[in-house]
Amino acid sequence: MSYKVERLKVNYKTLEEFKKFKEYGVQELSMLEDLQENMIENDSDSPFYGIYFADTLVARMSLYEVDAKFDRYFEPQQTYLELWKLEVLPNYQGKGYGKALVDFAKGFNLPIKTNARMKSQGFWEKMGFHALAYDMARDLSENPLVWQPEEKKA
Ligand code: COA
């Protein structure tokens, strides 16, 4: 099964769809404020990518490119993608939507770092990610997992 992954636009419809996701917080609220205060244009690109089933956004993730000079995860330091807020609505889980989004992120051919919620560790391992040794100063409450494109693996 192949799904169409779309870059999500910042508009009132997208922001309404976001309310269905559990991980709804400051990032979504600040996008709403920016839109209301005309700080950003309607339909400008957001850091979110998602998959629609009919008119419903059923899966989404946020991606952000972090410059090599801020990298604390890879050796040597490199530019990577931070992937967060990967979430599939409950009725749509287990149908390949999560994998489709992760595969899309891998398509940028940059290393990826994410922070696994405890119960999703098995999913990330299946996606080829591996857990880094916990470093308290760096990780605090995070549980970092990383993936690297083939040619970058040691
Ligand atoms: N642990 C272990 N393996 C998992 C898993 C999990 N929690 N979730 C999915 N998998 C496996 C699937 O069995 C599938 O394997 P297969 O290719 O051999 O069939 C593969 O990973 C891809 O699964 P997919 O259908 O793409 O997963 P998904 O669309 O449900 O997305 C999450 C995965 C975790 C992003 C999604 O379920 C989600 O948002 N869950 C809610 C939040 C959460 O973290 N839940 C954890 C489980 S309680």
pLDDT tens string 37-60? 999 999 999 999 999 999 999 999
Sorted by sequence, the CB contacts under 8 Å of residue 18 that are 6+ apart come out as 24, 28, 57, 60
Range of the domain at 41: 6-152
Mutation test of ligand 1: which of 120, 124, 129, 145 has the most ligand atoms closer than 8 Å to its C-beta?
120
Report if residue 1 sits inside a domain: no
Is 101 within the bounds of a domain?
yes
Number of domains in the chain: 1
Residue 59 domain-assigned (yes or no): yes
Q: What mean pLDDT comes out for the span 90-118? A: 97
Strands (E), the chain: 6-10, 44-53, 56-66, 80-88, 112-115, 130-131, 144-147
Whether 15 is covered by a domain: the verdict is yes
CATH number at residue 102: 3.40.630.30
Entry pTM: 0.95
Grade residue 152 by pLDDT with cuts at 50, 70 and 90. Answer: low
Nearest-CA residue for ligand 1 atom 21 is 123
Question: By alpha-carbon position, which residue is closest to atom 34 of ligand 1?
Answer: 120
The one-letter code for the residue type at 63 is L
CA 58 / ligand 1 centre spacing (Å): 14
Q: Of all protein residues, whose CA lies closest to atom 2 belonging to ligand 1? A: 122
Average predicted confidence (pLDDT) for the chain: 95
Kindly give the distance from the C-alpha atom of residue 123 to the centroid of ligand 1, in angstroms, as a whole number: 5
Whether 78 maps to a domain, the answer reads: yes
**pLDDT band, very low/low/confident/very high, at 18 (cuts 50, 70, 90):** very high
Residue 102 in any domain: the answer is yes
Tell whether ligand 1 has an atom less than 6 A from the beta carbon of residue 96.
yes
